[in-house]
Amino acid sequence: MFSSRDAYENDFCPVRDELLGEMYRANENGLPRLVESVSSDVRAMLALFCYRRSHLHSLALAIAASCSERELIQLGGRVGSTLYALSREAPATRTPPSSSYSNRKPITLSTKPLSTFSPVEDELDDENLTQAVTA
């Protein structure tokens, strides 16, 4: 099967892209059936894989909720332990990621003209010019 070191170092998805897409699009009722379709060790690797991607964070928590603490820690160390704890928290107590779009300040563009700089004049001394020509 997969070794945990390969999964972390090569950072590949432990399931087919199609299955990951189905999980991403699944509703709350269909996701558990898809998660149960993979073995427990692959499920833990998948939870860790998704956790490292901010757009898959909620999917990682849902998958990790079906994993044992031992598997997540064995495959992910401290990250696995954190993921296990987060997956057991009530959804209301979870803090949203700080990079969510709703918390961002709006972007404003300057209405002032760009600064203008005077051109740099390169004047060569006669001495430097003669050295350059003779060289």
pLDDT tens digit string along 53-81? Answer: 888 899 999 999 999 999 999 999 999 99
Q: Residue 49 pLDDT more than 50?
A: yes
Q: Does residue 25 belong to any structural domain of this protein? A: yes
Q: Does residue 108 belong to any structural domain of this protein? A: no
User: Of 104, 105, 66, whose CA–CA distance to 83 is shortest?
Assistant: 66
In the prediction, which pLDDT does 66 show?
92
Please tell me the distance from the alpha carbon of residue 33 to that of residue 26, in angstroms, as a whole number: 10
- CA distances 130 to 10, 31, 125, Å, are 59, 79, 9
| Structural domain for 34, as ranges | 4-90
Q: Does residue 75 belong to any structural domain of this protein? A: yes
Q: Does residue 33 belong to any structural domain of this protein? A: yes
Sorting pLDDT into bands at 50, 70 and 90, what band is 99?
very low
In the prediction, which pLDDT does 12 show?
79
Question: What is the total count of domains within the chain?
Answer: 1
For residue 36, give both structure tokens: 């149960």
Q: Which residues contact 26 (CB under 8 A, 6 or more apart)?
A: 34
Instruction: Give tens-digit pLDDT for 82-95.
Output: 999 999 987 655 55
Beta carbons of 49 and 13 less than 8 angstroms apart: yes
**pTM higher than 0.75, yes or no?**
no
In the prediction, which pLDDT does 1 show?
42
Q: Does residue 134 belong to any structural domain of this protein? A: no
Q: Does residue 17 belong to any structural domain of this protein? A: yes
In the prediction, which pLDDT does 68 show?
93
Q: Does residue 41 belong to any structural domain of this protein? A: yes
Q: Does residue 98 belong to any structural domain of this protein? A: no
In the prediction, which pLDDT does 122 show?
64
The mean-pLDDT minimum among 16-25, 106-115, 118-127 falls in: 118-127
Instruction: Give tens-digit pLDDT for 10-42.
Output: 577 888 888 888 988 888 788 888 888 899 899
